[in-house]
Amino acid sequence: MIIDWYTIMFQIVNFLILVFLLRYFLYGPIIRAMDEREQTIMQREEKAAAQTLEAENETRSYHQKSEKLQQREEEILEKARVAAKNEKQELLEQARREVDETRHRWKEELTRERETFITELRQRIGQQACLIARRCLQDLADSYLEELIWDFFLKKIGELPEEECASLLKASVAGDHKVLLRSAFDPPEAKLNELKKDLQKIVNDPEAGFHLSVKKDPALICGLELAVGGYRIAWSIENYLEDVEDQILKELEQAAPAKQAEEVPGSGERGS
Amino acid sequence: MTINPDGIILLEWGWFKINATILFTWLVMFLLTFGSWLVTRKLTSKGTLTRWQNLLEVLVNGIKGQIKEISRQEPEPYLPFVGTLFIFIAISNILSILPGYIPPTSSLSTTAALAICVFVAVPVFGIAHQGMLNYLKQYLQPTFFMLPFNVIGELSRTLALAVRLYGNMMSGTIIIAILLTITPLIFPVVMQVLGLLTGLIQAYIFAILAMVYIASASKTHQEAEKKGEI
């Protein structure tokens, strides 16, 4: 008999027991372990994903911060650059101003020195011119010229206007009829007498005794000066020469600024 | 030479007797249970796995995958039954390389017992899955007249299941026995290797067919569910 029913029944029971045993010793624990591991892996993956996300966020935030910092740095640098540029500009301006000022001052000084020099020169020229004239006249002066001068002086006294005469009279009274005559030459006696008479005529007192004192003064070039108290009558070539000198100086002064005005623009262009 | 291990009676006490089939079945059962207990008592779900745990996980996961592929359902309810079929048959067959060992699967009683288990399991799973009425209606498909043929089909496939495994395993043992008398050197070893392969394939076929039958019993209901959803 190939089929043994006893054995079949035994084997069915055996198999069912085996199913039961394996269920509790093999499938159950193994599946549980696998599930647990799967769960663990899932959790780990989720955690990793969360951490990755966090890390990404952090990275992004760091990137943003870094960009902001860079931007800020650039801004600061730009500001510093602008400030430096302005500072440079200002310093340059200041230096230029100082240079201009110095140049201006220097130019003014130069101008002043030149002016002083020119003025001095002018005065010297005038004085020299007059000195030459004076010497010429001194050399030329002789008795004839002296007489002419006396004549002219006496004539001038004789033709004094009335108010002048009154002033002279007042001065004479105040000065106790003291008369000082300054002359470049020794005056001739005749002329002195004439002068006395003229003075007596002016004061309308023929008896008036004038105390005439004479003082020789070569500085009065070919000239005469009469001082009665505070009153003074004079004639001399010196006066004319002084006039001439004044005139010459005036002419030179007028000519000099015109010349300077022409020169200044040229020097200014060279400075810039 | 004994063809049927049922005939080797080792212990007899009244009606109770222990033959070689039962003894070797117990041996396999002990090996499987003890081995499983040894490995699973210190399972870990974290860190490094032991190689034995890894092996068992691969095995269980492979069976689960196969069940899922065939039934297109969650494999958990079928796993203990189908998985045990495969493991029991595979280990019984593989151990045949040990001298003195007679695989229990080479006894028609064992294969018949397994086939009967499948025969019972099909309606059990079918009814559990889709209810008694729906399951019984299956026998009337497509018409009432098909009932006898359906019943015959059910019986014949159980018979085929039993005989297929028995035939293959018994033939393997017999072929080796015959070859040993003709060419006692080397060639039986090759045949033995081939026998290992055949044994594994038979275990796979038996388990897969069992699963197919069980799946077909719960399939109609599934299709109806799908139609309802559509």
Which pair of structure tokens corresponds to residue A74?
């650039």
Which among B60, B107, B116 is the nearest to A31, CB-wise? B60
Q: Which residue has the higher pLDDT, B60 or B190?
A: B60
Determine, for residues B43 and A30 on separate chains, whether the beta-carbon distance falls below 8 Å: yes
Backbone φ and ψ for B130, nearest 5 degrees, come out as -125, 5
How many Cβ atoms from other residues are within 10 Å of residue B86's Cβ?
A: 23
Report how far Cα A9 is from the mean position of its chain's Cα atoms. 134
Whether A71 contacts A65, CB under 8 Å: no
Measured CA distances, B32 to B38, B55, B60, B104, B186 (Å): 10, 13, 13, 14, 31
d(CA A182, CA A232): 11
B contacts of A7 (beta carbons < 8 Å): 6, 19, 21-22, 107, 109-110, 113
- SS3 at position A262: helix
Q: Which of residues A198 and B66 earns the better pLDDT score?
A: B66
Residue B87: which of B160, B168, B33, B164 has the closest Cα? Answer: B33
State the average pLDDT for chain B. 84
Range B154-157, long-range pairs (CB < 8 A, 24+ positions): B154/B119, B154/B122, B155/B119, B157/B209, B157/B213
Residue B107 DSSP class = S
Q: What would the pLDDT profile of B148-160 be if each residue is shown by its tens digit?
A: 888 898 888 878 8
DSSP B214: H
- Helix (H) or strand (E) holding B12, with range, is strand B9-13
Cβ-based contacts of A40 with chain B (< 8 Å): 45-46
Closest CA to A233 of A140, A190, A171: A171
> For residue range A21-67, what is the model confidence (pLDDT) as tens digits?
999 999 999 898 888 888 989 999 999 999 999 999 999 999 999 99
C-beta atoms of B117 and A12 within 8 A = yes
Q: What is residue A74's predicted lDDT score, i.e. its pLDDT?
A: 95
Contact B113 A8 (CB under 8 A): yes
β-sheet bridge partners, residue A176: none
Chain A residues in contact with B82 (beta carbon < 8 A): none
Measured between its terminal Cα atoms, the distance across chain B in Å is 62
Q: Is B17 on the interface with A (CB under 8 A)?
A: yes
What are all long-range contacts of A134-139, with beta carbons under 8 Å and residues at least 24 apart?
Answer: A134/A221, A134/A237, A134/A238, A134/A241, A137/A221, A137/A222, A137/A237, A138/A218, A138/A221, A138/A222
Q: How large a percentage of chain B has pLDDT more than 70?
A: 93
Question: How far apart are the CA of A42 and the nearest CA of chain B, in angstroms?
Answer: 12
Backbone φ and ψ of B11, nearest 5°: -145, 135
Q: Is the pLDDT of residue A201 over 50?
A: yes
Q: Establish if A21 touches chain B: CB-CB under 8 angstroms.
A: yes
Cβ under 8 Å to B: A residues 34-53: 34, 36-37, 39-40
pLDDT range class, residue A244, cuts 50, 70, 90: confident
How far apart (Å, rounded) are the C-alpha atoms in residues A195 and A125?
A: 38
Under 8 Å between Cβ of A118 and A256: yes
Six token digits for residue B3: 């063809």
The per-residue pLDDT for A266 is 45
ipTM: 0.87
Does B228 score more than 60 pLDDT?
A: no
A9 interaction partners in chain B (CB closer than 8 Å): 113
To test the contact with chain A by mutation, choose from B12, B40, B159, B214 the residue with the greatest count of A C-beta atoms within 10 A, namely B40
Q: CB-based contact (8 Å) between A4 and chain B?
A: yes
Q: How confident is the model at residue A16 (pLDDT cuts 50, 70, 90)?
A: very high
Residue numbers in A near B46 (CB within 8 A): 37, 40
Do B73 and B222 touch, CB atoms closer than 8 A? Answer: yes
Per CB-CB distance under 8 Å, the chain B contacts of A32 are 43
Write out the H or E segment, with its range, that includes residue A226.
strand A224-228
**Cis status of the peptide bond prior to B142, with omega within 30 of 0:** yes
> Residue A179 pLDDT > 90, yes or no?
no
d(CA B173, CA B195) in angstroms, rounded, equals 8
- Confidence band (pLDDT; 50, 70, 90) for B29? very high
Domain boundaries, chain B: 5-229
Instruction: Return the residue in A6, A9, A16, A22 with the most chain B beta carbons within 10 A, the one to mutate for interface testing.
Output: A22
Q: At A100, list the tokens.
A: 């201009």
Residues 6+ apart with CB under 8 A from B114: A11, A15, B85, B88, B89, B161, B162, B165, B206
